[in-house]
Amino acid sequence: SAVISQKPSRDICQRGTSLTIQCQVDSQVTMMFWYRQQPGQSLTLIATANQGSEATYESGFVIDKFPISRPNLTFSTLTVSNMSPEDSSIYLCSVEETADSPLHFGNGTRLTVT
Amino acid sequence: AQSVTQPDIHITVSEGASLELRCNYSYGATPYLFWYVQSPGQGLQLLLKYFSGDTLVQGIKGFEAEFKRSQSSFNLRKPSVHWSDAAEYFCAVGPYGGNEKLTFGTGTRLTIIP
């Protein structure tokens, strides 16, 4: 299966700042997704990163807060903008290698906002 | 609306003992079911999946799961746990070929005692 590298693995940021998380895959994949895992909770889909076009956001998530890029079939970034302590979470990149294949996940970025 | 319930937030078992983690789902069509495991500081790793065929599916690390349509369940089992199985386990349900519509359960944290 695809090898997913996510950076940074963790960060501590001050409120009001922004952090960009990178997700690199070692092969071309059809779909890339970004999830949030809040403390003690399950995974919530933020958006689908579309190659060459704007991301598709889920209800409750907006582009101004979570801008996403996907310039090619192996790379995507998620930015958490104007952070507040409520943004403290694990952010996970996941990929679908081919249509109908299950999701594979990166190791996540543990973000703490102070 | 689809949903996943993992009734057990935390389970403790002795090393070498058998394990069963419960998962109940609600889904209006034929479900595509998954179990993922998340070790501390790691992303999610796919243990097994089920869409059709034999209702007893084998996964990695000696895990298996049984699909019971009449009970809307997809419980995960292992005959003898190892200390390395200590982790968080997530059940997920969605449509076949529709990873952007996956719903994850809230997870079951497994602790292994010597």
Q: Classify residue B77 as exposed, middle or buried by CB count within 10 Å of its CB (0-12, 13-18, 19+).
A: middle
Question: Given the structure tokens 């097994």, which residue do they identify?
Answer: B48
| Structural class in CATH, domain B3-113 | mainly beta
B46 Cβ under 8 Å from any chain A Cβ: yes
At residue B85, the pLDDT reads 97
At residue A14, the pLDDT reads 97
Q: Work out the average pLDDT over B75-87.
A: 97
Q: What is the DSSP string of chain B?
A: --EEE---SEEEEETTS-EEE--EEE-SS--EEEEEEE-TT--EEEEEEESSS-SEEE-GGG-EEEEEGGGTEEEEEESS--GGG-EEEEEEEE-TT-GGG-EE---EEEEEE-
Q: Work out the average pLDDT over A46-72.
A: 95
A19 Cβ under 8 Å from any chain B Cβ: no
Q: Where residue B11 falls among pLDDT bands split at 50, 70, 90?
A: very high
For A72, phi then psi, to 5°, come to: -150, -170
Chain A residues with CB under 8 Å of B104 CB are 42-43
B27 Cβ under 8 Å from any chain A Cβ: no
B40 Cβ under 8 Å from any chain A Cβ: no
Alpha carbon distance, N-terminus to C-terminus of chain A: 36
User: Is the model more confident about B102 or about A57?
Assistant: A57
Q: Work out the average pLDDT over B61-73.
A: 96
Residue A87 has pLDDT above 90, yes or no: yes
Residue A41 has pLDDT above 80, yes or no: yes
Is A31 within 8 Å of B97 when comparing Cβ atoms?
no
CB pairs under 8 A between A and B: 50
Q: Write the CATH number for A44.
A: 2.60.40.10
The number of domains in chain A is 1
Break chain B into its structural domains and give their ranges.
3-113
Distance from CA of B46 to the nearest CA of A (A): 7
Q: Write out pLDDT tens, residues B82-98.
A: 999 999 999 999 888 88
Q: Work out the average pLDDT over B44-56.
A: 93
Residue B70 has pLDDT above 90, yes or no: yes
Which residue segment(s) compose the domain that A83 sits in?
4-113
